[in-house]
Amino acid sequence: MEKVISGIRPTGNLHLGNYFGAVKSFVRMQKEFNCMFFIADWHSLTTHPKPENIRQSVKTILAEYLACGIDPEVAPLYVQSDVKEVLELYLYLNMNAYLGELERVTSFKEKVRKQPDNVNAGLLTYPSLMAADILVHKADKVPVGKDQEQNMEMARLFARRFNRIYEVEYFKEPESYHFTNKAIKVPGLDGSGKMGKSEGNAIYLVDDEATIKKKVMRAVTDSGPTMLNQEKPEAIKNLFTLLELVSDKQTYDYFDDQYNNMTIRYGDLKKQLASDINAFCAPIRERILDFQQNEEYLQKVIRMGAQAASESAAKTIQEVRQIVGFR
Ligand code: ADP
Ligand code: TRP
């Protein structure tokens, strides 16, 4: 059976972008493939979080993964730092990763711009650590959002390069996977760009009804369509994209028609959107709160996950050591 791996950095709560871009695929894939999902706590060190924040965020995201429907009996859930084999592969991959290509990665360039006084080597080698996460399990498919495409290309490049250098056909090139068949980008509520933690425009799965409503009602709009059937400007398109994700088709079509015949009232659209987002989040929110109370169960989940992931990774590392020239 094909292997699937994916992870998310523990840097806060999961938002709708994380859910529709990645976690929804995780939940759907777990029955069909041999899946493992993890919490990328080593990756989160690139921005120097406080130890207590890491501990808290790992616990939070674990409860959120479970609340979204990942079944740890079917798809092991582990914490990246519990699987030391990843670091060994990271080292081997780094020996054949070049400064020029790493510097050209868009997300690296972005970080250089955003945090010029913390351009550390971990940030530079983020793609090789991510490749190690994937290749250590020899995964076939990796469910991620659109913004991870370049990191995925790097993972394929490192896999090919390893095979070429050692004249083996050992690593497969992992492919990105999206349940909708195309990479999705969930927009934010501020008129442009994607929904993201650092963008400050996110609706979190744990947000309560009042918070969701407040955020949606504040979303950027314009003064309304001025022509029949005109193309929607980005901010409006974003609201419709969100509506498409959380509402039924009838509701979407209703507002789409209203936009096209210029009778739309954005206030009504927003109220509906807020209500549908809340209907979507409410059951997940309740489960998150329940799982967070159950410390013992959370510990058990990551113990099981660590064992499954370490077994899979140890096998690869043993073979890789042979290939590279170690005992
Ligand atoms: P953030 O941008 O909030 O920091 P991450 O970079 O930690 O989120 O992303 C975790 C996962 O969620 C990745 O697979 C990423 O592709 C996906 N993801 C994050 N934001 C979005 C979005 N707005 N649309 C689609 N997928 C997203
Ligand atoms: N880079 C991913 C993100 O920001 C997280 C990640 C780390 C990951 N290692 C991975 C995703 C391996 C998929 C596979 O969301």
* 197 is an active site residue: yes
Could you tell me if 29 and 167 lie in one domain? yes
**Considering only CA atoms, which residue is closest to atom 16 of ligand 1?**
145
Coil, strand or helix at 69: coil
Instruction: Identify the domain containing residue 149 by its residue range.
Output: 3-173+294-324
Could you tell me if 66 and 165 lie in one domain? yes
What's the whole-number mean pLDDT along residues 124-131? 98
Q: Which ligand is nearest to the CA of 137?
A: 2
**Statement: the pTM of the whole predicted model exceeds 0.85:** yes
Strand-pair partners of 187 = 194
Could you tell me if 150 and 79 lie in one domain? yes
What's the whole-number mean pLDDT along residues 170-194? 86
CATH number at residue 68: 3.40.50.620
Could you tell me if 148 and 235 lie in one domain? no
Could you tell me if 150 and 236 lie in one domain? no
C-alpha 218: how far from chain center: 25
| 86 pLDDT more than 90 | yes
Could you tell me if 280 and 302 lie in one domain? no
What value, to the nearest 5°, has the Cα angle with vertex 208 and ends 204 and 213? 90
Whether residue 73 contacts residue 302, with contact meaning beta carbons closer than 8 Å, is answered with no
What's the whole-number mean pLDDT along residues 109-129? 96
Could you tell me if 7 and 154 lie in one domain? yes
- Run of H or E residues at 141: strand 141-143
- 21 alpha carbon to ligand 1 midpoint, in Å? 6
pLDDT above 90 as % of the chain: 91
What's the whole-number mean pLDDT along residues 178-203? 83
Number of domains in the chain: 2
Q: pLDDT band for position 181 (50/70/90)?
A: low
Could you tell me if 233 and 129 lie in one domain? no
91 C-beta neighbours (distance < 10 Å), count = 13
